[in-house]
Amino acid sequence: WVNKIDGKELKLLAEFKEDSVINKMISPYKDSIDRDLSKELPFAPETLDKTGEWQTSIGNFFADVTFLKGSALLQENHQKNLDFILLNSGGIRSIIPKGAVTARNAYEMMPFENNLTVVTLKGEQVLELLNYLIIEHKPHPISGIQFTVSKDKKPEKIKIQGLDFDLAKNYRVGTNDYLANGGDNMLFFKKGIERLDLNYKLRDVLIDYFKTADSLPVPKDQRIFIDQ
């Protein structure tokens, strides 16, 4: 029987000095990355954050930017139109503070390697999607779609791209690959009749938008209405 175990700590590296060979090798790359991440891009006129019951300023902004960039890429590469966007509020990990915005803000906001994906859903799956949002009661970012939550907790008065929802139609929904795979229990995406992975990281969506904007919009339009 084992009744005693002895052990001792072995120092694999006694000291890591600031002027070590490794530090000298990585320093130019680190400095270059720090400069790129710290470069000031647009200006945020106010803080965008996750405050809100059904919608948030940062969620609306992120969904709108994703729609803008995703729609252009889908049209360019596949000659198809994007109908609306659904992302997950939990994927947004930081605010965008008032003031100068940098690429570092994009990395802090979207630290994951998620790619933009477009899934074509039948009308019945769009209804599943809306019922999911109502049941979840979380401010998941949406763009291009509006609806009312009825008194009996059903989606009604649905509009997509300003047009009345048509149950017989198919709709192309932009999301991320995690959700397209059924993540966050969004199983309706797995029922899609077509899936197009655009190989465009959502972080890069933000950075590319930052590079072209002078000032960030703060969208405050209502997208989910509650029937009192």
Average pLDDT score over residue span 195-219: 94
Contacts with 23 (C-beta within 8 Å, 6 or more apart), sequence order: 16, 17
The pLDDT tens digits for 61-74 are: 999 999 999 999 99
Confidence band for 26, pLDDT divided at 50, 70 and 90: very low
Q: Is the pTM of this model over 0.75?
A: yes
pLDDT-wise least confident of 7-11, 88-92, 102-106, 139-143: 7-11
Dist. CA 45–CA 112, nearest whole Å: 26
* 194: confidence class by pLDDT, cuts 50, 70, 90: very high
Calpha distance 14→26 (Å, rounded):
20
Segment 163-191 shows an average pLDDT of 98
- Of the chain, the percentage scoring pLDDT greater than 90 comes to 79
Q: For residues 29 and 131, which has the higher predicted lDDT (pLDDT)?
A: 131
Confidence of residue 18 (pLDDT cuts 50, 70, 90): low
Indicate if the pLDDT at residue 112 is higher than 90: no
CA 81 centroid distance within chain: 20
* Other residues' Cβ atoms within 10 Å of the Cβ of residue 123: 15
- Percentage of residues in the chain having pLDDT higher than 70: 82
pLDDT at 220 (0 to 100): 87
| 8 Å CB contact between 205 and 145 | no
Tokens 């929904």, residue? 173
pLDDT digit string, tens, across residues 116-175:
999 999 999 999 999 999 999 999 999 999 999 999 999 999 999 999 999 999 999 999
